[in-house]
Amino acid sequence: MFKTGVWGYAGIHARVRAKYSYLITSQEWAELIGAADFTALIGLLRRSVYGPYLMQLDEGVLTPRRAVYQIEKQMADTFTIIVRSTPRSARPLLTKFFLNFEVHNLKAALRGIQARASWDQVQTVLFPLGPISTLPAQAMVESGSVSSAVELLRGTPYYNTLSYAMERYTAEQSLFPLEVALDLNYWSEIWNDLNRLPRQDREPALRTVGSLLDVNNLMWAIRYKIYYHLSEEELINYTLPFGYRLRDADIRAVAAGNDIAGVILRIYPNLPDISALLLDPRKGLPELEIQLLRHVMEQCRKAFIGYPFHIGIPLAYLVLKKMEIQALTALIEAKSSRSPVEEFEAYLPLESTRK
Amino acid sequence: MFYPQEMSQVQLIIPARDLMAVTRKLADQGVFHQIDGSQLAVEPVKIPRPHKPWPEVAAVYATLERRILGIIQTLAIEQDLSRPPQGTGIVELDQVQPLVEQIDQQVKQVREQVGEEQKQLDELQSLYHQLEPLADRDLDLATLRAPGYIYSILGTIPNVHLDRLRTSLERIPFVFETLHQDEETAIVWLSALKRDREILDRAARSAYLNPLALPEAYSGTSSEVVHELGNKMEEIRQQMAEQGEILVGIREERGQQLQTLLGQVRSSRILTEAMGRFGRFRYTYLISGWVPTNRVAEFEKQLKGVSKNILVESLSIQRAHLHESVPVILRNARLFRPFQTLVTTYGQPRYEEMDPTFLMAVSFPLLFGAMFGDIGHGLLLALLGALLGSGRVRALRSMANFGWIITYCGVFSIVFGFLYGNIFGFENLLKPLFIRPMNSILESMILAIGVGIVLLSVGYLIFIINALMSREWGRVLFDHHGVAGLFLYWSLVGLAVEVATQHFPIPLIVLGIIALVSGLLLAFSEALNRLVEGHRPLVEGDLPSYAAASFFELFEVLIGLLSNSISYVRVAAFAIAHAGLSAVVFILATLISPSHGFGYWIVVVLGNLFIIGFEGMIVGIQSMRLEFYELFSKFFKGGGMHYEPLTLQPKVQE
């Protein structure tokens, strides 16, 4: 009886609220973006919640990649704390959401094999998931071939998905079908978990994770259409027929070559005119994606307003945290390659006006 | 018994003509541990053609041996190497190679055919599994392959993509039929007009539909093809069985011959490898190695029997000083030998080092018995151990040594069972000869610490004796486990007893002075050690750092002394836990059957079995920990060389 509602979420709500207050503020972002170089950026980050993790390593060995790794470690630890104090009924969805990083790791391992990279090279780009991960990443990379690596996944949730897609990989020698299969499978399972939630949890969860699913699904469809020129039937098969505000009809409209801007505005009526962005897709699509992610962030912030005892609070925090990590990674890379601020600032997934 | 067997270093110089006979004799005696002397030759020897150097010859025999082993494995012949070959022990390659070649060819032909058939069978099985779900459908495969006006695809697809595939085809006229579906996948048949072929292909591919390979060689309906595939597979299985019969025939015909060949080739390999390690001169060979000192006279006599002009030099090695390269033979009474396995698990004792098997054989069962004191449980353990040790259970023969260790532990459990008055957990049937741990918790703990102090002191004493034997005077006096360490330990124990009881025979002030002096000696042990050994400078690095390091080292020693002694409290704790667990079993049994009926006794029996298995295992691990970590770490270095004599007899696994 105390599994959900006030009893279930009181503790986690307090904990997440505390952590929420440590998310990087807009003023701090401005300072970070304005940092002179990578060293100055790390100096600023040492004063943030990531400080203890960055200080585990001496400055001499703190390369940009190591810095990202340490920052990701902070998120992994935060997740462990959050999931441990969440009610049992909500844990599968939270864990599944976090395992998005495992899907990334799996793709990175497969790309490493394809590129004949060594384990030392591959492990630097993996997210530090810790014991939650079932992926035999090192053995996979050291197996030397994609088919052997997939065989090593027997017994994990990824084996069936990849084994069906292996026939196409063997014929085409491209990782594209494997990666698409992994994404479709991952988000379908998230959707199923969302629908299995108790009623009072479902709506707030849909508003946060469902919104993120909408962005991913819509961006896949637009990219397949504009960049890859895939056919209608391929585009439909490589996307998902569900979402929070996105409908299958929207995907089919994009697939059929209808007005993409019209579709986007139907779903996100508050967005400014995005027709101009679609005129130059190479520059415009990343900007469009950032605008859509900002919408997701707004939805996540809204989760913290009103009745607070539901799964939306931890989920919204994790989504915001994930985007913060994403932005920090991009910023570290930009600073280490000494890119001018105006070249990268627009591509950071940051809210336009931060509270 | 306390030290490894005394060894003698032996050097032999033999005329080249006696090479074979001497080598064979060395191997037959089985006491000679060889050292590689091939680098001892003072001048390079030109080997006359067509002779090859011995290591190369040995490599050829090794290859031949592997080949014979391969054949033996294919024919499933059990190896029998109990009869060493006659003569020099080295068989001519010309004599065996053609024979091995002939048998190998015979076996290879059958093996290849079986491999080919297995491949065919795998392919058919794959087809069969694909088409089997369609066995109840009368689909004409010929029509599916060449469908006329329509284009169709038959294939398997993950269930999750089924609806999406249908949706993706909505812009063309199509027929979509699910022929079979299980939990994960479905077999579907898709068809559309030929003009829409590309769309159909793209849709199928992007929905991860894997087309089924329709076998060209088979025609008819799917049920007919499945039936035909089944028949074909059965036919191949029969052929494979026939090939198996042929292999059985070869085994019966050639089995004995292969055993003999393997014996000959293996002994040839061992002897030629040994000869490869001899130092070679123009007319003589130099052989170096180790022989147990008490076997040297007989060893020399035997060799002189086969080579009149042999020169034998032997030097018995004393234990003083360090001897890393002397092979070690442990000498222990038969009774204690099972514990030798436990000791060598920790490390092989060195030549100059005391063999702790005796100490282990006494202290291990003692600690086990003290923690697991119960007449009934001990008796069952002793019987189980005796059964394992006797080797009557064929599958568990390799555990014979372990069995005897269990028996000793069981016997000590019985002894302590009488002391505690405990039988199968019943504490009221017998009067304890000593104490009941559950009723005398404090006394039990003090006694356990007392036993620990005695055992640790023995550890210190053995360390001092070992250091004396290797004449490391600095370590004798100033090492943490040497005289200074022992005095510090004893004085601290004395201080603790005096503070607790006020009845220690030595005054507090004397104990305090001994503790202070020995503590200071330990703190500066490194410098003092260097002083005694004559090394300079006494202190490496700057003095303040050295002083700080010395202080912390002393602090660590003190913590270690405390924790090592307190660690033995677990002996009492487990003795109490044993009684506690038994009490729990009786409470559960009474809950199940308050009238002490059938259910009561079932729970008592199962509970006792659980205690023997579960607690017995934990107590065994704890005893091992006390031995290895608390006791052995005081004096045992290990790292000795294993004694591996040259012999043609295969090694018997203990």
Place of tokens 């022929």: B179
Residues A146, A67, single domain; the answer is no
Chain A contact present for B169, CB below 8 A: yes
Residues B391, B302, single domain; the answer is no
B121 assigned to some structural domain: no
Residues B257, B176, single domain; the answer is no
Tens-digit pLDDT string for chain A (355 aa): 335 556 667 767 777 888 888 899 888 999 999 999 999 999 999 989 898 889 888 877 889 999 999 999 999 988 888 887 787 778 888 899 999 999 999 999 999 999 999 999 998 899 998 888 889 999 999 998 999 999 999 989 999 999 999 999 999 999 999 999 999 999 999 999 999 888 888 888 999 999 999 999 999 999 999 989 999 999 999 999 999 999 999 999 999 988 899 999 999 988 887 888 888 888 888 889 999 999 999 999 888 887 777 888 899 999 999 999 999 999 999 999 988 888 888 778 787 544 3
Residues A207, A291, single domain; the answer is yes
Q: How many domains does chain A have?
A: 3
B178 to chain A nearest CA, in Å?
A: 18
Suggest the residue from B160, B163, B174, B212 to mutate for an interface test with chain A (most A CBs closer than 10 A): B160
The answer to whether the beta carbons of residues A102 and A133 sit under 8 Å apart is yes
Nearest to A161 by CA among B522, B347, B184: B184
A221 assigned to some structural domain: yes
CB pair distance less than 8 Å for B202 and A234: yes
A82 assigned to some structural domain: no
Residues B293, B439, single domain; the answer is no
CB pair distance less than 8 Å for B202 and A188: no
Domain boundary among A197, A212, A231: A197
Chain A contact present for B199, CB below 8 A: yes
Residues A318, A346, single domain; the answer is yes
For residue B76, give every residue at least 6 positions away whose Cβ sits within 8 Å of its Cβ, in sequence order, or none. Answer: B251
Residue A197's pLDDT is what?
86
Chain B contact present for A301, CB below 8 A: no
The answer to whether the beta carbons of residues A197 and A94 sit under 8 Å apart is no
A81 assigned to some structural domain: no
Residues A144, A131, single domain; the answer is yes
Residue B652's pLDDT is what?
46
Angle, nearest 10°, between helix axes A91-98 and A64-84? Answer: 170
Residues A66, A106, single domain; the answer is no
Residue A234 with chain B: CB contacts under 8 Å: 168, 202-203, 205-206
Residue B296: is its pLDDT beyond 90? yes
Residue A352's pLDDT is what?
57
B521 to chain A nearest CA, in Å?
A: 39
Residue A223's pLDDT is what?
94
Interface subset of A 47-86, CB within 8 angstroms of B: none
Residues B304, B348, single domain; the answer is no
CA dist., res. B216 & res. B144, Å (int): 11
B590 assigned to some structural domain: yes
N-term to C-term CA, chain B: 20
Neighbours of B498 (CB within 10 A): 17
Mean per-residue pLDDT, B168-187: 89
Residues B271, B388, single domain; the answer is no
Residue B650's pLDDT is what?
66
In terms of residue numbers, what domain contains A150?
88-197
Nearest CA in chain A to B185: A164
Residues B503, B606, single domain; the answer is yes
Stretch (H or E) spanning A248: helix A248-255
When the pLDDT of each residue in chain B is averaged and rounded to a whole number, the result is: 88
Q: Residue B193: how many CA atoms within 13 Å on its side-chain side?
A: 5
Domain boundary among A269, A286, A303: A303
CA dist., res. A253 & res. B551, Å (int): 79
**Which tokens sit at B25?**
């004799």
Residue B82's pLDDT is what?
67
B370 assigned to some structural domain: yes
Nearest to B481 by CA among B637, B340, B352: B637
A147 assigned to some structural domain: yes
CB pair distance less than 8 Å for B203 and A237: yes
A208 assigned to some structural domain: yes
Residue B157 with chain A: CB contacts under 8 Å: 164
Bridging pattern class, strands B185-193 and B174-181: antiparallel
Stretch (H or E) spanning B382: helix B375-390
B451 assigned to some structural domain: yes
Nearest to A345 by CA among A324, A330, A326, A325: A330
Q: What is the CATH number of the domain that holds A163?
A: 1.20.1690
Amino acid (one-letter) located at B74: T
A83 assigned to some structural domain: no
Residues A287, A222, single domain; the answer is yes
Q: pLDDT tens digits, residue range B311-343?
A: 999 998 887 666 678 999 998 888 888 999 889
Residue B54's pLDDT is what?
86
pLDDT band (50, 70, 90) for residue B88: low
Domain boundary among A197, A225, A258: A197
B59 assigned to some structural domain: yes
Residues B476, B514, single domain; the answer is yes
Residues A98, A66, single domain; the answer is no
Residue B159 with chain A: CB contacts under 8 Å: none
Residues A110, A151, single domain; the answer is yes
The answer to whether the beta carbons of residues A61 and A297 sit under 8 Å apart is no
In terms of residue numbers, what domain contains B304?
7-103+246-316
Residues B179, B298, single domain; the answer is no
Residue A241 with chain B: CB contacts under 8 Å: 163-164, 167
CB pair distance less than 8 Å for A252 and B160: no
Residues A109, A153, single domain; the answer is yes
The answer to whether the beta carbons of residues A214 and A295 sit under 8 Å apart is no
CA dist., res. A195 & res. A188, Å (int): 11
| Burial (Cβ within 10 Å: 0-12, 13-18, ≥19) of residue A125 | middle
A234 to chain B nearest CA, in Å?
A: 5
CB pair distance less than 8 Å for A165 and B208: yes
Residue B208 with chain A: CB contacts under 8 Å: 164-165, 168, 177, 181
The answer to whether the beta carbons of residues B511 and B496 sit under 8 Å apart is no
Helices (H) and strands (E) in chain A, counts: 21, 0
Chain A contact present for B201, CB below 8 A: no
B639 assigned to some structural domain: no
**Which tokens sit at B29?**
């005696």
Residue A161 with chain B: CB contacts under 8 Å: 158
| Burial (Cβ within 10 Å: 0-12, 13-18, ≥19) of residue A284 | middle
Residues B338, B310, single domain; the answer is no
Residues A342, A288, single domain; the answer is no
Chain B contact present for A167, CB below 8 A: yes
Residues B341, B486, single domain; the answer is yes
Interface subset of A 198-237, CB within 8 angstroms of B: 230-234, 236-237
DSSP states along B287-327 = EEEEEEGGGHHHHHHHHHHH-TT-EEEEEEPPSSS--SSSE
Q: What is the CATH number of the domain that holds A14?
A: 1.10.132.50
Residues B26, B69, single domain; the answer is yes
Q: pLDDT tens digits, residue range B561-606?
A: 898 999 999 999 999 999 899 999 999 999 988 888 899 999 999 9
Closest residue to B208, CB basis, from A164, A231, A232: A164
Residue B202 with chain A: CB contacts under 8 Å: 231, 233-234
Domain boundary among B220, B237, B258: B220
Closest residue to B208, CB basis, from A181, A236, A241: A181
The pTM is what? Answer: 0.56
pLDDT band (50, 70, 90) for residue B651: low
Residues B529, B381, single domain; the answer is yes
Q: Which residues pair with B190 in a beta bridge?
A: B153, B176
Q: How many domains does chain B have?
A: 3
Helix%, strand%, coil% for chain A, nearest 5: 70, 0, 30
Chain A contact present for B210, CB below 8 A: yes
B225 assigned to some structural domain: no
**B28-49: b or e for each residue (b if 16 or more CB lie within 10 Å)?**
bbebbbbbebeeebeeeeeeee
Q: Which residues pair with B284 in a beta bridge?
A: B15
Q: What percent of chain B has pLDDT over 90?
A: 50
Q: Positive or negative, the Cα torsion across A73, A74, A75, A81? A: positive
Q: pLDDT tens digits, residue range B107-164?
A: 888 888 988 999 899 888 888 887 888 777 777 777 777 767 888 898 999 999 999 9
Residue B329's pLDDT is what?
93
Q: What is the CATH number of the domain that holds B149?
A: 3.30.70.2750
Residue B256: is its pLDDT beyond 70? yes
What ipTM was assigned to the predicted interfaces of this complex? 0.86
Residues A211, A291, single domain; the answer is yes
CB pair distance less than 8 Å for A233 and B202: yes
Residues A229, A166, single domain; the answer is no
CA dist., res. A345 & res. A13, Å (int): 32
Suggest the residue from B156, B157, B168, B183 to mutate for an interface test with chain A (most A CBs closer than 10 A): B168
CB pair distance less than 8 Å for B210 and A167: yes
Chain B contact present for A5, CB below 8 A: no
B448 assigned to some structural domain: yes
